[in-house]
Amino acid sequence: MKTNPNQLLADYERDGVVCVREFLSADEVAAVRAELDRYIRDDLASQPVDARTFEKDDKTVRNLWRLEKYNAWFHRLGEREDIKALVAPLVRGEPLLVGVETFNKPARVGSGVPYHQDNAYFCQTPPDMLTVWIAIDAVTEANGPVFFVRGSHKEGMLPTKPSGVRGNSIGMAEPSKVPLDEQYCGLLAPGDATIHHCETVHHSAPNTTDFSRLGLLLVYRGTHTQTDSKLKQAYSAAVTATSPA
Ligand SMILES: O=C(O)CCC(=O)C(=O)O
């Protein structure tokens, strides 16, 4: 990993999003890809429906969810001590792995992700929770990179509305007014990662290219955070409106 922990924390606190180049090595990226391929081919059909969301064609995987629960290999990856040590200062406490998931953004059919703040899904207070978004494929301007509004994590939670998008059921009531060219665009080589705070506003466009844009996400919170019942109510309503979530 190419990182200076003090600089990482300062940048994360200022911007709500940071980039870590070479978060995983080329060999580790290849191992992630091999295990995802194997899991989708051999295991997914026999897992509960909350293990995945498909694209509109009802067969291409849009997201894998709960890999920390359904796959021992990904559980071990999420529990790696070097990764937890890196994120500990950012979650201001002892990190707890709460999710391992994918945003596959497959070639041509990969759908977009509406403007949202993750804490509308996570519902944690204080919001000491984050996502490590690891590029497994190259992320380019063309294949649907994630755009983040720098500093937006300092504004608190913005009004939400059900989005109607499968896999991303709760979006922001209004998209960000910050122009796209002023947002942080996560352009990544395979193995690079971004880390974003759970209240940083972000979104991504559909993938209309011939190149897949697979991302592996590790989600952590500090052990001290608790569920906020008001956020949870809004989330439950959105999930009901966009089933499956
Ligand atoms: O991968 C994407 O396009 C969106 C990812 C996202 O919304 C997230 O990391 O919370």
Written as tens digits, the pLDDT of the chain (245 aa) is 778 989 999 999 999 999 999 999 999 999 999 999 999 999 999 999 999 999 999 999 999 999 999 999 999 999 999 999 999 999 999 999 999 999 999 999 999 999 999 999 999 999 999 999 999 999 999 999 999 999 999 999 998 888 888 878 788 989 999 999 999 999 999 999 999 999 999 999 999 999 999 999 999 999 999 999 988 887 787 777 665 55
Which residues lie with the beta carbon below 6 Å from any ligand 1 atom? 103, 105, 113, 118, 131, 133, 146, 202, 204, 215, 217
| Full-model pTM | 0.95
* Measured distance CA(85)–CA(67) in Å, rounded: 21
> Which of 100, 111, 113, 217 most suits a substitution to test ligand 1, by most atoms within 8 Å of the C-beta?
113
What pLDDT is stored for residue 242 in this prediction?
62
Atom of ligand 1 nearest to the CA of 168: 7
Atom of ligand 1 nearest to the CA of 118: 10
* CA–CA distances in Å: residue 212 to residues 52, 62, 89, 97, 186: 18, 11, 33, 27, 15
Q: Is the dihedral of CA 120, 245, 115, 220 positive or negative?
A: positive
Amino acid, single-letter form, for residue 223 = T
Atom of ligand 1 nearest to the CA of 131: 9
Half-sphere exposure of 6 (CA within 13 A, CB side): 0
What pLDDT is stored for residue 245 in this prediction?
55
What pLDDT is stored for residue 119 in this prediction?
96
What pLDDT is stored for residue 164 in this prediction?
80
* Measured distance CA(105)–CA(98) in Å, rounded: 22
What pLDDT is stored for residue 186 in this prediction?
98
CATH number of 5-241: 2.60.120.620
Q: Which two tokens stand for residue 46?
A: 């026999």
* Measured distance CA(221)–CA(14) in Å, rounded: 19
Ligand 1 centroid to Cα of residue 203, in Å, is 7
Atom of ligand 1 nearest to the CA of 103: 1
What pLDDT is stored for residue 243 in this prediction?
57
Which of 17, 11, 10 lies closest to 197 in space, CA to CA?
A: 17
Ligand 1 centroid to Cα of residue 163, in Å, is 15
In this structure, the number of other CB atoms found within 10 A of the CB of residue 213 comes to 25
What DSSP state is assigned to residue 109?
Answer: T
Domain definitions of the chain by residue range: 5-241
Ligand 1, atom 3, residue with closest C-alpha: 204
Atom of ligand 1 nearest to the CA of 217: 9
In this structure, the number of other CB atoms found within 10 A of the CB of residue 58 comes to 6
> Which of 133, 143, 217 most suits a substitution to test ligand 1, by most atoms within 8 Å of the C-beta?
133
Ligand 1 centroid to Cα of residue 45, in Å, is 24
